[in-house]
């Protein structure tokens, strides 16, 4: 007999400890005190749960509680951006058991910065994360760790994992290679790792020629963030926010847990690592999760009261000066790249519209007297479009990389959502990027995402559609 382990008010998070975006939403759920259980993304979960619910194989997936589903909640939410918005609305500050403030800052300028940190975390810091996890020169040093993590995920967290029953850990890369080849026909062998991952790394622009800049930029980020976290416990000041959870995805899942970048962070930037643990909910000084209390002596008898100092923290105001160099380093490269992505998406949509018109014109003639019906134009957008050039600075004068990466339509969708949510934010960005970039590259982004076409989600996929109110609504 199976005993249910989840009640009608508990969320299910499907992911893994290796998952970049599962880290983001897990930390948020933990801080918010939202009841949830985790399950690992096994082949069974992907085949029987994730794909039927979402039509894709991507993780993480958040399954709302049964009670909420009976009241109209979605059966599953896949994008972490949408997860956070759904949860903020479903569990507002002050509701039973929830933390006392929103993940969104009260200050309008900080709201803009928080939204940008989410875009950077989701779209640009992935270069750092994927490099320090899967780049061949790094992977050879931490392959056993990642193999073990994959093994745990595929086993569903059941101990001992299937492969460990018959395949002991190999002591060296060469021994692992030998063991893998000799037991390749066994279903209980350790999950195989490819010596290189061009299908994952190349579309992000991670190549041997860009690697030196990526490595040095990591060092620069650690230095800049160390300065910042010397004065502030969180990215936007003294309160935890969406900005922290968005950067945490990369800095926890790929940069602190993986052995090679993790030892660099812990030995050269311990304040950054302390922030990682603080956001993750561990009992660090400045914790926002209620895990740290301090004794206060009251009365003449020396009575001790235990208080949570975070409850007295006031809302932050203004962008911290120590955060500006971090934002400039990342946004100064990403905003021009995003502007080019917007141009490529616009160009792709125009090409698809022309193809639809030609196809329609060459179709069967409309019978005499019949009226032609209007057709709604839905332009499905693939996950990746063509290759585009990008620049990345390392933070060291004279050391920068120029390469190519695939245009990601999801990035343009996120840009659209940012503008819709917090506006163009030009006043804030002027102090970070300068007038030339704000009035140039960023304005081109805003003009496209606010223009005729909007990007919407349809059954988990992105679709471009003529914006309501544009006059001719999707007429070919």
Which range scores top for mean pLDDT: 9-13, 42-46, 289-293, 357-361?
9-13
Q: Is pLDDT at 165 greater than 50 in this prediction?
A: no
pLDDT at 100: 74
Does 347 fall in a domain? yes
For the chain, give the percent of residues with pLDDT over 70: 87
Mean pLDDT, all residues of the chain: 87
pLDDT tens for residues 413-466?
A: 999 999 999 999 999 999 999 999 999 999 999 999 999 999 998 878 899 999
Q: From residue 139, how far is each of 14, 136, 166, 179 by CA, in Å?
A: 25, 5, 24, 18
Nearest to 221 by CA among 259, 265, 260: 265
Q: Taking the CA of residue 174 as centre, how many other CA atoms within 13 Å lie in the half-sphere pointing to its CB?
A: 0
pLDDT of 265 reads 99
What pLDDT shows up at residue 84? 98
pLDDT, residue 381, reads 98
Per-residue confidence band for 474, with pLDDT thresholds at 50, 70 and 90: very low
Domain-embedded: residue 113: no
Mean pLDDT value across residues 171-186? 37
State the average pLDDT over residues 252-276. 98
Of 123-137, 185-199, 387-401, 439-453, the one with minimum mean pLDDT is 185-199
Supply φ then ψ for residue 455, to 5 degrees: -105, 125
Average pLDDT over residues 58-75: 94
A 10 A CB-CB count for 99 gives 19
Number of independent structural domains in the chain: 2
pTM summary value: 0.89
pLDDT value for 209: 97
Is 348 a member of any domain? yes
User: Which residue in 368, 421, 75, 122 sits closest to 243, CA to CA?
Assistant: 122
- Average pLDDT of the residues in 57-74: 94
CATH of the domain at 20: 3.40.30.10
- pLDDT of 36 above 90: yes
pLDDT digits (tens, 9 = 90+) for 344-358: 999 999 999 999 888
pLDDT band for position 70 (50/70/90)? very high
Task: For residue range 287-312, list pLDDT tens digits in order.
Answer: 887 778 889 988 777 889 998 888 88
What is the DSSP-derived secondary structure letter of residue 397?
A: T
Angstrom distance (rounded) from CA 68 to CA 102: 21
Q: Looking at the domain assignment, is residue 434 inside a domain? A: yes
Domain-ending residue, one of 74, 100, 126? 100
User: What is each CA distance from 346 to 72, 198, 339, 342, 470, in whole angstroms?
Assistant: 35, 27, 11, 6, 16
Domain that holds residue 94: 11-100
Domain boundary among 66, 100, 134: 100
Question: Rounded to the nearest 10 degrees, how much is the dihedral formed by the CA atoms of 239, 259, 78, 326?
Answer: 40
Give the model's pLDDT for residue 95. 80
Query: Does 286 fall in a domain?
Result: no
Give the residue, 91 or 168, on which the prediction is more confident.
91
pLDDT of residue 200: 86
Quote the pLDDT of residue 367.
Answer: 42
- Region 133-149: what's the mean pLDDT? 94
Q: Is residue 86 part of a domain?
A: yes
Q: Which helix (H) or strand (E) segment is 12 a member of?
A: strand 11-15
Length reported for the chain: 476
**Among 116, 121, 81, which Cα is nearest to 426's?**
116
The residue out of 100, 117, 148 marking a domain boundary is 100
What span, in angstroms and rounded, lies between the C-alpha atoms of 389 and 307? 53
pLDDT value, residue 62: 98
Q: CA 320, 325, 328 angle in degrees (round to 5)? A: 110
Predicted pLDDT of residue 235 = 99
């Amino acid at each position: 007999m199976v005993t249910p382990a989840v009640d009608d008010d508990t969320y299910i998070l499907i992911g893994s400890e290796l998952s970049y975006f599962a880290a983001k939403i897990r930390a948020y759920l933990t801080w918010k005190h939202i009841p949830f259980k985790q399950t690992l993304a096994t082949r069974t979960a992907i085949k029987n749960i994730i794909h039927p619910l979402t039509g894709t194989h991507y993780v993480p997936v958040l399954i709302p509680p049964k009670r909420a589903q009976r009241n109209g909640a979605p059966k599953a939410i896949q994008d972490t951006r949408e997860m956070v918005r759904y949860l903020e609305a479903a569990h507002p500050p002050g509701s039973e058991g929830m933390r006392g403030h929103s993940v969104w800052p009260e200050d309008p300028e900080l709201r803009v910065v928080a939204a940008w940190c989410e875009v950077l975390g989701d779209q640009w810091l992935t270069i750092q994360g994927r490099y320090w996890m899967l780049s061949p020169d790094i992977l050879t040093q931490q392959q056993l760790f990642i193999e073990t993590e994959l093994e745990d995920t595929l086993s569903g967290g059941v101990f001992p994992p299937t492969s460990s029953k018959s395949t002991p850990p190999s002591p060296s890369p060469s021994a692992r290679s030998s063991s893998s080849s000799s037991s390749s026909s066994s279903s209980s062998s350790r999950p195989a790792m490819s010596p290189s991952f061009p299908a994952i790394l190349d579309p992000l622009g991670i190549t041997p020629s860009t690697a030196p800049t990526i490595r040095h930029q990591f060092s620069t980020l650690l230095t800049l963030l160390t300065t910042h976290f010397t004065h502030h416990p969180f990215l936007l000041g003294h309160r935890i926010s969406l900005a922290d959870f968005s950067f945490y995805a990369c800095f926890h899942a790929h940069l602190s847990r993986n052995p090679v970048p993790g030892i660099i962070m812990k030995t050269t930037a311990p304040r950054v690592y302390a922030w990682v643990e603080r956001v993750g909910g561990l009992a660090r000084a400045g914790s926002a999760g209620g895990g740290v209390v301090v004794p206060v002596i009251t009365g003449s008898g020396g009575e001790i009261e235990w208080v949570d100092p975070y409850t007295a923290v006031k809302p932050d105001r203004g962008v911290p000066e120590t955060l500006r160099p971090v934002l400039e380093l990342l946004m100064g490269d990403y905003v021009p790249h995003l502007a080019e992505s917007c141009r490529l998406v616009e160009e792709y949509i125009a090409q698809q519209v022309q193809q639809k018109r030609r196809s329609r014109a060459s179709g069967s003639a409309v019978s005499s007297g019949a009226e032609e019906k209007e057709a709604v134009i839905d332009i499905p957008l693939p996950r990746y479009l063509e290759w585009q050039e990008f620049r990345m600075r390392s933070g060291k004068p004279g050391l920068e990389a120029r390469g190519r990466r695939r245009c990601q339509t999801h990035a343009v969708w996120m840009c659209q959502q940012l503008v819709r949510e917090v506006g163009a934010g030009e006043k804030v960005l002027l102090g970070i990027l300068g007038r030339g970039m704000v009035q140039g590259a960023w304005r081109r982004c805003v003009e496209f995402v606010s223009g005729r076409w909007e990007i919407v989600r349809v059954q988990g996929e992105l679709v471009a559609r003529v914006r309501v109110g544009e006059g001719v609504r999707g007429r070919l």
